[in-house]
Amino acid sequence: MTKRGSVYYVRFIISKERWQEVGRATNARNGTRRDIIKSLETKDYREALQRRDVALAKIREETNAALAALGLPPLHGEWKPSWSNIHSRLTEQALTARKALESADTYREPIYADDDPTSEIVIGEHSSDKDCKAEIVRDRLSDIAQELTKQRAGPAGQRAATEAYQRAHAIAFGEATPLCVLLDRWFTTLKGTVTQELIDRHHRAFSRLGLCLAAAEGLRADEPEDYVRRIPIEHIDKRTAGHFREWLEKLPSIGPRVVGFHLSTMNSFWKWAQGVGYAESNPWEGSTRGLKKKIANASRERGEKRPYTDEELIALLTQARERLQHPKKWPWARVIYDMLRLAPLTGCRQNELASLTVSRVIRPTRPDQLWRISITEEVSKTRSSTREVPLHPIAQAVIAQRLAELPEDHSQDAMIFPECKPGGRDNKPGHYLSKRYATFLRSALGEKPEIDFHSFRRCFATFFTTAEANGAQHCPELVLDHLIGHKPVSLAHNTYAAKRFDWSVYDKAIMEMVEKGISEHVRSALTYSNTP
């Protein structure tokens, strides 16, 4: 999806080899068409998400019709997946039959000798409604499964048909449950409790599992997640789990961290399936063994994440100040410059700062107290991340300037950084800031994968620790945990110690951190202001 003004649009990408043909079929102005953009006719993000798939299907349908009118093949070419129609029909038929069989009457009327109901001699029983329906189901599933023999000749085709029939039979008679039934339930439980980004990651994991299992059967899966959704959960065992990990680790496009994400998805789903009684065991338990070492090795090769050096901080601040002089060329320079002064002095995450509103700026009544910003539950990453962070006078000046620039009739919900429009799968204000800052960082310091926006949090922790080493009395580890939004590790701290101290403790800690933990050159660069 994309956004134009306040309205959401859907963008359908055309593969490069079909640009000319689609352009001719759709009467493109320049003869080629790389994409098709249509309005979703809504300003609401969630409503746009619901409409997206329907819009894409309609665009594909109309484009294929236009291609067919010129005698050209559809967008997907002439290829048809060997498994999709038959396996899909078998699963759908089996699930439909399962409902019918569960509600069918099991009563069998007795057959009396000489057909005399008054006779006490019973010589047999009539078939029940369930018996009749079961016979029809078996015949129907067998007929559909036998169609596989037309696609595969010889013993291979007959074996595929037999396996497909047995799988569908088990589903229809309640002996097996296809993953589609359970995945729909699982994803429903996740909505509202985890981010959409994590849900998307789960979908990618099951798509890759579908690709792996289809490849093992010698099939090509055009819609790999649909393929895996039709496999009964009972058919996924320890051997499948091991094979999937080996298959993932051979993929050139992903590293050990992504492998771990995918295996973690499977482990989480199967734990849930165990809890609701559909899985007797979890074949993915222990599947990530040894991955931590591989992730550590990959991180060392790529470069361990670290805080910025003093020289890098000064270079970033200098570059941002220079770009302030050319706002048309660098429209994000002001936001980035403000973030460069806020992030290392507050330890806040990117979205925590980008989503700041007027109501979350707390101005104390006493002149000896610092301003604070509140990190509320709706923007915090975890429960421990909800907190209030004092603003050092340098950071306070940034917020004060921003507040002064707001319209006089602004509400308490007014954004401190209105440039940070919500975006991405979770509609977060930090989405576009993340992209613009990554571009700025590369242009200022070159390719350095070991540093990113999160490195400001690492700077904050480093400044705090340095200040304590230099004699600061209010910068212990527990205060750092409270300010940065981490759950303390030790039992004494996370169970018995106070969850929040008097605010004077945090105010003094912030002041000491800047005074004793930050070098004079960096303090000078942070203090210098060239804000228009």
Instruction: Kindly give the confidence (pLDDT) of every residue in the chain, 532 residues in length, as a single tens digit, with 9 standing for 90 and above.
Output: 888 888 999 999 998 888 989 998 888 888 889 899 999 999 888 888 888 888 998 999 899 888 888 888 888 765 555 445 677 788 778 878 887 888 888 888 777 666 666 666 767 777 788 888 888 888 888 888 888 787 777 887 888 888 888 888 888 888 888 898 899 999 999 987 888 889 999 999 999 999 999 888 777 777 888 888 888 898 899 999 999 999 999 988 788 889 999 999 999 999 999 998 888 899 999 999 988 888 777 766 666 789 999 999 999 999 999 999 998 899 999 999 999 999 999 999 999 999 999 999 999 888 889 999 999 888 877 776 889 999 999 999 999 999 999 998 889 999 999 999 988 877 889 999 999 999 999 999 998 888 999 999 999 999 999 999 999 998 999 899 899 988 776 655 555 555 678 888 999 999 999 999 999 999 999 986 554 4
With beta carbons less than 8 A apart as the criterion, state whether 320 and 331 touch: no
Torsion sign, CA atoms 316, 322, 323, 327: positive
Q: Report the distance separating Cα 43 and Cα 45, nearest Å.
A: 6
With beta carbons less than 8 A apart as the criterion, state whether 85 and 148 touch: no
Domains of the chain and any CATH numbers: 2-69 (no CATH), 179-302 (no CATH), 310-527 (1.10.443.10)
- Eight-state DSSP code of residue 194: B
To 5 degrees, how large is the angle CA 375–CA 379–CA 380? 65
Give the predicted TM-score (pTM) of the model: 0.62
With beta carbons less than 8 A apart as the criterion, state whether 511 and 300 touch: no
Q: Report the distance separating Cα 221 and Cα 440, nearest Å.
A: 40
Q: What phi and psi values does residue 151 have, to the nearest 5 degrees?
A: -90, -25
Instruction: Give me the residue label for tokens 């088990």.
Output: 170
Q: Estimate the crossing angle of helix 129-146 against helix 84-103, to 10 degrees.
A: 180
The predicted structure's pLDDT at residue 532? 46
CA 201 to each of CA 207, 263, 310, 435, 501: distance values in angstroms, whole numbers, following the listed order: 10, 11, 36, 19, 38
Q: Estimate the crossing angle of helix 333-346 against helix 430-445, to 10 degrees.
A: 90
Q: What share of the chain is helix, strand, coil (3-state, %, to 5)?
A: 55, 10, 35
Q: What phi and psi values does residue 124 have, to the nearest 5 degrees?
A: 175, -170
Instruction: Give me the residue label for tokens 């600061």.
Output: 472
Q: Report the distance separating Cα 177 and Cα 277, nearest Å.
A: 11
Tokens of 209: 């599992």
Tokens of 425: 């799968």
Q: Report the distance separating Cα 370 and Cα 386, nearest Å.
A: 19
Burial 459-473 (b: 16+ CB within 10 A, else e): bbbbbbbbbbeeebe
Q: Estimate the crossing angle of helix 333-346 against helix 393-404, to 10 degrees.
A: 140
- Eight-state DSSP code of residue 415: B
With beta carbons less than 8 A apart as the criterion, state whether 371 and 390 touch: yes
The predicted structure's pLDDT at residue 339? 96
With beta carbons less than 8 A apart as the criterion, state whether 274 and 177 touch: no
The predicted structure's pLDDT at residue 320? 94
Q: Report the distance separating Cα 252 and Cα 180, nearest Å.
A: 29
The predicted structure's pLDDT at residue 107? 80
Instruction: Give me the residue label for tokens 């003094």.
Output: 508
